[in-house]
């Protein structure tokens, strides 16, 4: 029998974090522009650094004026020693927080576009680490619902 690893290579934590954050920034850029997208994601990551040490090694660059080609830089292999489940929890928090800060409609479309843009080679991996985009959509919808009786 064929194993799944023969078909899809294993992605390490740094590759997953880099892909997810870069995809989020690129998705937000379409609606808000690069400066806003980089600022939103960078400030959110800075807020979470106290709770999650490995985020100290995630740097986001505004590449508009730099000669850099990479927007998301991982500066240490320490991130690869962190539990993939913890990585999934943090990425879930980042996406949910961004969707809420964008508002009902834009936040919903952030998650929807993220699902389409993250890349098929990452989709099953992010689901395996607990980053379920369907669950994110449901949480976003429920958090933005206004219940009145």
- Classify residue 134: in a domain, yes or no: yes
- Classify residue 3: in a domain, yes or no: no
Residue 58 is predicted with a pLDDT of 96
- Classify residue 5: in a domain, yes or no: no
**Res 47 pLDDT > 70:** yes
- Classify residue 116: in a domain, yes or no: yes
Model's pTM, two decimal places?
Answer: 0.86
State the pLDDT confidence band at 147, using cuts at 50, 70 and 90: low
Structural domain boundaries, residue 48: 12-142
Per-residue pLDDT tens digits for 13-35 = 999 999 999 999 999 999 899 89
Checking 74-81 for CB contacts under 8 A at 24+ apart, the result is 74/14, 74/17, 74/18, 77/14, 78/53, 78/54, 79/13, 79/14, 79/17, 79/54, 80/12, 80/13, 80/14
- Classify residue 23: in a domain, yes or no: yes
- Classify residue 69: in a domain, yes or no: yes
Residue 121 is predicted with a pLDDT of 87
- Report the domain count for the chain: 1
- Classify residue 47: in a domain, yes or no: yes
């Amino acid at each position: 029998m064929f194993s799944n690893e023969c078909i899809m290579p294993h992605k390490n934590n740094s590759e997953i974090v880099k892909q997810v954050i870069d995809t989020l920034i690129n998705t937000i850029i379409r609606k808000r522009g690069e400066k806003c997208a980089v600022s939103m994601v960078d400030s959110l990551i800075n807020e979470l650094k106290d709770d999650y040490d490995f985020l100290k090694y995630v740097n986001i660059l505004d590449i508009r004026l730099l000669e850099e080609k990479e927007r998301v830089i991982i500066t240490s292999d320490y991130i690869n020693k962190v539990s993939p489940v913890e990585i999934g929890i943090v990425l879930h928090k980042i996406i949910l927080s961004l969707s809420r800060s964008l508002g009902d409609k834009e936040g919903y479309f952030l998650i929807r576009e993220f699902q389409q843009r993250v890349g098929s080679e990452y989709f099953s991996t992010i689901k395996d680490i607990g980053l379920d985009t369907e669950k994110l959509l449901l949480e976003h919808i429920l958090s933005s619902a206004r219940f009145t009786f």
